[in-house]
Amino acid sequence: MRKNVLKNLIVYIMIGVGLVLSSCSVGEKQEKPNIIFIMSDDHTSQAVGAYGDRFASLDPTPSIDRLADEGMLFRNVFCTNSICTPSRATIMTGQHSHSNGVLDLAGVLPPERHYLPQEMSKA
């Protein structure tokens, strides 16, 4: 019985080591993610054709529709602040307006902090 336990232990260790080694990319250059970030002020999702809502036919968006067909479409999204500048600051910082300090149209983010573009360029 002791021999079987030892044998099983060795097998499990070998499997674990194999999994760890197979997940490591030795000498391979990591490919950068292919991300297209589209931000549009005061643009309701109802006006984008890919969402198929009532205003989509008023101003067609064929390029955005094609990107959505070939990629990803978000359907469960929220706006934490409906005013332009605070809304943009929320996206750039990942913080609510009361945390990032941009509460109105004249709000400014401190330039010494790191924001979404800097983090995305690291990817």
Q: Which of 22, 23, 78 is nearest to 45 (CA)?
A: 78
Whole-number Å distance between alpha carbons of 13 and 6: 11
Q: How many residues does the chain have?
A: 123
Backbone angles phi, psi at 71, to 5 degrees: -130, -115
Active-site choice (6, 14, 84, 116): 84
Distances (CA, A) of 63 to 38, 48, 60, 68, 73: 11, 10, 9, 9, 13
Does 84 qualify as catalytic in the annotation?
Answer: yes
Which residues are catalytically annotated?
A: 84
